[in-house]
Amino acid sequence: MDVTIIIPWIRRDKIGQAVTAAILNAGVNVVLLVKEDTERIGCPKMVRDMVNECTTKYVCFLGDDTIAGDNYIKIAMDEMLEFPGGNGLIGFNDKTGRTLPTHWIASRELLPELGGTFFHPGYRHCCCDVELLHRVKALGRFSYSQKALVLHDHPMITGCKTDKFYDYVYSPLVRGKDQALLKQRMENGWKS
């Protein structure tokens, strides 16, 4: 059972470690798709475009600021197979105590039920994972894996150094726009 790992990236100093851990710790056969966001279109649009390039049934989304733990995909896939037809979304444990699917593995067969994309491309960066959580839970297709570990090496989580990319996407302006879009989409039944 092949899985495509997609990693959109903007941080040259982190991508090497993310890719190495993603491949070495998968525990299953993987196809790797890594692309730099040269046009700075944002993570939701990058994920949409990269998922559209996938040919495998399963896609795993990681960021350039992730460090995958041992057998993270194998563990998550064992849990995935508990869903009918193996069609669901498994959120990885980032050791924050939250069950938000910041990084995940999913069946592409969910896409028609999600409007054709895992992350709505109207978001710049924040809140797309919150929407995804609401939608896959409503479908009865979400599970959060305690055992599939993917550390999110993020300033708000690990205290690593912030940079201009973090500062921009978590600025009050960008975060506020994404929060307003989430509220609007929730009120409109996830329609644009």
The beta strands (E) that lie in the chain are given as 3-9, 30-36, 58-61, 66-68, 89-93, 104-107, 142-152
The pLDDT of residue 152 is 81
Q: Is the pLDDT of residue 48 over 60?
A: yes
**Domains in the chain, CATH or no CATH each:** 3-187 (3.90.550.10)
* C-alpha of 72 from chain center: 14
* C-alpha pair distances (Å), 31 with each of 7, 62, 81, 110: 11, 13, 19, 20
| Per-residue model confidence as pLDDT tens digits over 132-179 | 999 999 999 999 999 999 988 765 665 666 666 666 666 788 889 999
Kindly state the tokens that stand for 36.
């730099």
The pLDDT of residue 166 is 62
The pLDDT of residue 173 is 84
| Residues linked to residue 49 through DSSP beta bridges, in sequence order | none
- How many CA atoms within 13 Å lie on the side-chain side of 23? 9
What is the DSSP annotation of 147-186? Answer: EEEEEE--HHHH-PPP-HHHHHHTSHHHHHHHHHHHHHHH
Neighbours of 20 (CB within 10 A): 12
Alpha-carbon distance of 172 to 178, in angstroms, equals 10
Kindly state the tokens that stand for 45.
């649009």
Instruction: Give 20's contacts (C-beta < 8 A, 6+ positions apart).
Output: none
Q: Is the pLDDT of residue 12 over 70?
A: yes
What is the mean predicted confidence (pLDDT) over 83-111?
94
